Amino acid sequence: MPEPLLVIACGALAREITELKNSQGWDHMHLACIDAWLHNRPEQIPDRLRSKIRKYKKDYAHIFVAYADCGTGGEIDKVLAAEGIERLPGAHCYEFFAGADRFAALAEAEPGTFYLTDFLAEHFERFVIKPLKLDSHPELRDTYFGNYRRLVFLSQTPNGRLLYAARDAAQQLELEFEHVHCGFGSLASSLKFQAER
């Protein structure tokens, strides 16, 4: 039996990590999540990660962090270097789901692109509309999204309800819609490497 592995993850990845863990039989993998709401306050993520790592480090010899940089400007990497812990590759979840090359091609084809994952499609009102007050002040749409041209839905699962929600999000933001099915990308390969090492 492999030694226990703790994955400290963004709450936005909990469903995907749980699905991978269960489908692969990684019973030794345990999950501790940090509130996905911190996507709107990335400067708070490094301290939260440090606290979680220190809380669990005495109980786990093997900890992995399921975050990319997530807008922290390298601050997550400073915490992880000090603690001797690895994380997912890339700047954000869009990159590790799509893959670096495909994401770069999407960004180059249209720099004015807003991206959604399954999680963000499902929680679009909670994480985009309400925090930006677009529900009560729709005139702010041009302030926030005036330089965007399209919305790309990077889906993890084939889910018609989420596809509909992503199309609706594009319509609300008055953006062209594109769907790119990615699956779990390097989230899957990174977790597999950690689980089987």
pLDDT digits 0-9 by tens, 132-173: 999 999 999 999 999 999 999 999 999 999 999 999 999 999
Contact 168, 143 (CB under 8 A): no
Q: What is the mean pLDDT of residues 74-83?
A: 96
User: How many helices and strands (H and E) does the chain possess?
Assistant: 10, 7
40 pLDDT higher than 90: no
Predicted model pTM: 0.92
Beta-sheet pairing, 5-10 with 29-34: parallel
| Mean pLDDT, the chain, integer | 95
The domain segmentation of the chain, as residue ranges, is 5-91+185-196, 100-181
- Say how far apart CA 73 and CA 69 lie, in whole Å: 7
φ/ψ of residue 106, rounded to 5 = -65, -45
Residue 72 makes CB contacts below 8 A (sequence gap 6+) with: 42, 43, 45, 46
Q: What is the mean pLDDT of residues 27-44?
A: 94
Residue 129 makes CB contacts below 8 A (sequence gap 6+) with: 135, 172
Count how many residues are written for the chain.
197
122 pLDDT higher than 80: yes
- Say how far apart CA 78 and CA 16 lie, in whole Å: 26
Residue among 41, 22, 43, 44 nearest 31 (CA): 22
Distances in Å between the Cα of 11 and the Cα atoms of 84, 88, 150 are: 22, 14, 26
